[in-house]
């Protein structure tokens, strides 16, 4: 019987529909297990630019800091694409990650048996896929300075900086090892050590951290090879740990193993304060407001919140099982159509999962 304050930041596009679905499911969990969840809403992304003139208002940050966890939808859309960099929706997302020190982005990739045929990959390759990508989220080329435009001797140039401190690498690699301990005890550290200085430091630090986890195997893999291995033989992976940009690319690629980007939840863990939970997918402006979006990534993100922020394991499992059941019954949002079953709306999918909780 607990009381939990949850900050909900729907953001833009389908972010609104999928967070509302996740909130519904959390309410059902509250009733079934006797918890009190309080939901308070904040602005972020394009919605915040429109209403408050900035992609991450101070008020939103305050709300998050006073909450036990944050549930986020998605940000962005064509409406704001021509805005100057500091007034772009994505800046809100990058800023909240940095401000709340959400350094560890966990992206589990699981292929549900009933969705095996939704994947572009051959069934025998994806059946049983179950790994997690641990992406560093507050460092690297996303935040390094200098970053910008310069004119030198009449030449126009643009520069970005990939910077990692030893401690930043240490804490994310350690997180990967801790997770691996509770899983299949294998960490694949992905880098580009044959080219990048930052990757060579990354590899060294990974080796050091590994010494504290003699029960876990560490392997190194170059990012180009990893992009290939993910589709060649995805079952070789247990925990993948990598820097910010590589993690961004590899996790979107890996989403295809689970059938759809609409299936992938994520947790962004903070070093100190509240953690944030969001689907890996974006705001999908083309289908926003059409009651077609897949709410499962957001709902599974809420399940991660129950487990990782509140320690409510049985509750998290109830949600995960409800999702599994809805899929096994043949319910499919449009993105999952290739796997057969009955096409349903966002609302129908949410109702089914709620009922099953």
Ligand X SMILES: CC(C)[C@H](C(=O)O)[C@@H](O)C(=O)O
Residues near its own copies (CB under 8 A): 76, 85, 88, 90, 94, 120-122, 125, 141-142, 144, 147-149, 155-167, 192, 194-198, 200-202, 223-225, 227-228, 230-233, 245-246, 248-253, 255-256, 261
In the bound state with its own copies, the residue whose beta carbon lies nearer, of 62 and 232, is 232
Contact call for residue 93 and ligand X (CB under 6 A): yes
List the beta bridge partners of residue 6. Answer: 39, 69
How far apart are the C-alpha atoms of 265 and 268, rounded to whole Å? 10
How far apart are the C-alpha atoms of 14 and 187, rounded to whole Å? 34
Pick the closest to residue 218 from 198, 249, 190 (CA basis).
Answer: 190
User: Is 85 labelled a binding residue?
Assistant: yes
Q: Are 149 and 156 in contact (CB under 8 A)?
A: yes
CB of 154 to its own copies, least distance (A): 10
CB of 301 to ligand X, least distance (A): 12
In the bound state with ligand X, the residue whose beta carbon lies nearer, of 192 and 354, is 192
- Look up residue 353 and give its two tokens: 């999962």
DSSP H or E segment with residue 167: helix 166-181
In the bound state with its own copies, the residue whose beta carbon lies nearer, of 133 and 318, is 133
User: Is 47 labelled a binding residue?
Assistant: no
Cis-peptide, bond into residue 143, ω within 30° of zero: no
Helix residue ranges, H only, 57-118:
58-65, 89-99
In the bound state with its own copies, the residue whose beta carbon lies nearer, of 58 and 155, is 155
Report the partner that residue 2 touches, choosing among ligand X, its own copies, none (CB closer than 5 to 8 A by kind). none
Pairing of strands 3-11, 267-269: unpaired
Q: Are 190 and 246 in contact (CB under 8 A)?
A: yes
CB of 31 to its own copies, least distance (A): 37
CA 92, 38, 36, 282 torsion: positive or negative? negative
- List residues with catalytic annotation: 142, 192, 224, 248, 252
List the beta bridge partners of residue 144. Answer: 161
User: Is 107 labelled a binding residue?
Assistant: yes
Binding mask 229-268 toward ligand X (x if CB under 6 A, else -) reads: -------------------x--------------------
List the beta bridge partners of residue 190. Answer: 221, 242
User: Is 137 labelled a binding residue?
Assistant: no
CB of 248 to ligand X, least distance (A): 4
User: Is 88 labelled a binding residue?
Assistant: yes
Backbone φ and ψ for 220, nearest 5 degrees, come out as -105, 145
Contact call for residue 90 and ligand X (CB under 6 A): yes
Count of residues of this chain found to bind ligand X when the rule CB under 6 A is applied: 6
Identify each DSSP E strand in 166-248 by its residue range. Answer: 186-191, 217-222, 239-242
Report the partner that residue 172 touches, choosing among ligand X, its own copies, none (CB closer than 5 to 8 A by kind). none
The residue count for the chain: 357
In the bound state with ligand X, the residue whose beta carbon lies nearer, of 153 and 194, is 194
Report the partner that residue 227 touches, choosing among ligand X, its own copies, none (CB closer than 5 to 8 A by kind). its own copies
Residues that bind ligand X (CB under 6 A): 90, 93, 194-195, 224, 248
Binding-site residue numbers for substrate are: 97, 107, 135, 224
């Amino acid at each position: 019987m607990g009381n939990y304050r949850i900050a909900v930041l729907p953001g833009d596009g389908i972010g609104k529909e999928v967070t509302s679905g996740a909130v519904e499911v959390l309410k059902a969990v509250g009733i079934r297990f006797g918890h009190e969840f309080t939901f308070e809403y904040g602005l972020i992304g394009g919605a915040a630019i429109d209403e408050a003139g900035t992609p991450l208002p101070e008020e939103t940050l305050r709300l998050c800091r006073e909450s036990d966890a944050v549930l986020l939808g998605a940000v962005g859309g064509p409406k704001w694409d021509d805005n100057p960099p500091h007034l772009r929706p994505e800046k809100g997302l990058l800023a909240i990650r940095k401000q709340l020190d959400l350094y560890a982005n966990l992206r589990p990739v699981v292929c549900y048996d009933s969705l095996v045929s939704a994947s572009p990959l051959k069934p025998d390759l994806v059946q049983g896929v179950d790994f997690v990508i641990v992406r560093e989220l507050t460092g690297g080329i996303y935040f390094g300075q200098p970053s910008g435009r310069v004119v030198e001797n009449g030449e126009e140039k643009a520069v970005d900086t990939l910077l990692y401190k030893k401690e930043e690498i240490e804490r994310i690699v350690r997180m990967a090892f801790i997770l691996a301990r509770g899983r299949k005890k294998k960490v694949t550290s992905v880098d580009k050590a044959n080219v990048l200085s930052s990757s060579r430091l990354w590899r060294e630090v990974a080796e050091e951290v590994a010494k504290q986890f003699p029960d876990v195997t560490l392997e190194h893999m170059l990012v180009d090879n990893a992009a290939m291995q993910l589709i060649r033989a995805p079952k070789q992976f247990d925990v993948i740990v990598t820097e910010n940009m590589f993690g961004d690319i590899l996790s979107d690629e890996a989403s295809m193993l689970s059938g759809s980007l609409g299936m992938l939840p994520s947790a962004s863990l903070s070093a100190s304060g509240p953690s944030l939970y969001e689907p890996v997918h974006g705001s999908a402006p083309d289908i926003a407001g059409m009651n077609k979006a897949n709410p499962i990534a957001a709902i599974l993100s809420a399940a991660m919140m129950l487990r990782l922020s509140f320690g409510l394991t049985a509750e998290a499992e109830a949600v995960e099982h409800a999702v599994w059941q809805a899929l096994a019954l043949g319910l499919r949002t449009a993105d999952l159509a290739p796997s057969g079953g009955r096409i349903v709306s966002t609302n129908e999918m949410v109702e089914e999962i709620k009922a099953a909780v």
